[in-house]
Amino acid sequence: MSLMEIGKPAPEFELYDQSDQLYRLSDYLGSWVVLFFYPKDNTPGCTAEVCDFNSEYDRLSALGVTLIGISTDNLRSHQKFAQKYRLKFPILSDKEGRVALAYESLFRLGPFRIAKRNSFIVNPQGDIAAIYRSVKAKGHGGFIHEKIQQLMAGE
């Protein structure tokens, strides 16, 4: 049975981003949040997805939406990745995979743990408003932008 269901509280987390800034989901109560998990910095699919979200950042931000990426890569990897692609949003390091596990987004392959390509929209009350599993990298940012506009219109 899945603990991640629409209408249930989104799991809290505390993680650091590429600039060594601490992020807590609870800091964003009162606003919409898009959390997206991705497997690995600098791989073709993940680069496409992250760059797609980066191109949607201004439109999401104009709606008051906070965009946060999460992977199991370390902070140094995130720093290089964010600089290389001039990311406008935080990418958080979940090195131990605890947050990915809480969001049912952790994939284990022997001793390796990576995040699955999943996305979540969290409403201003801190509840899961939408879940997208095993998403396609290209075009996902635009898809999320459309979906969050629909969710906001239904408030």
CATH number of 87's domain? 3.40.30.10
Q: Is residue 128 part of a domain?
A: yes
**In the 8-state DSSP scheme, what is residue 99?**
H
Active site residues: 46
Domain total in the chain = 1
Taking only the tens place, the pLDDT of each residue in 4-42 is: 899 999 999 999 999 999 999 999 999 999 999 999 998
Q: Is residue 120 part of a domain?
A: yes
Q: According to DSSP H, which parts of 17-73 are helical?
A: 44-62
The pairs formed by 112-117 with CB atoms below 8 angstroms and a separation of 24 or more are 113/72, 114/39, 114/40, 114/71, 114/72, 115/37, 115/38, 115/39, 115/70, 115/71, 115/72, 116/37, 116/39, 117/36, 117/37, 117/38, 117/39, 117/45, 117/46, 117/49
DSSP reduced 3-state for 96 = coil
Q: How much is the pLDDT for 2?
A: 64
| Cβ neighbours of residue 46 closer than 8 Å, sequence gap 6 or more | 38, 39, 40, 71, 117, 137
Taking only the tens place, the pLDDT of each residue in 101-110 is: 999 999 988 8
Q: How much is the pLDDT for 68?
A: 98
Q: How much is the pLDDT for 107?
A: 92
- Considering the chain, what is the average pLDDT of its residues? 93
Q: Is residue 5 part of a domain?
A: no
Q: In the structure encoding, which two tokens stand for residue 5, read together? A: 């269901």
Q: How much is the pLDDT for 112?
A: 85
Q: In the structure encoding, which two tokens stand for residue 64, read together? A: 């008051």
Segments forming the whole domain that contains residue 29: 14-153
Beta partners for residue 131, in sequence order: 120
Sheet order of strands, 91-93 included: 22-24, 14-17, 91-93, 66-71, 33-37, 118-122, 128-132
- The span from the CA of 138 to the CA of 68, in Å, is 17
Q: Is residue 4 part of a domain?
A: no
Q: Is residue 3 part of a domain?
A: no
Burial class (CB in 10 A: 0-12, 13-18, 19+), 121: buried
Overall average pLDDT of the 75-103 stretch: 96
Overall average pLDDT of the 120-132 stretch: 97
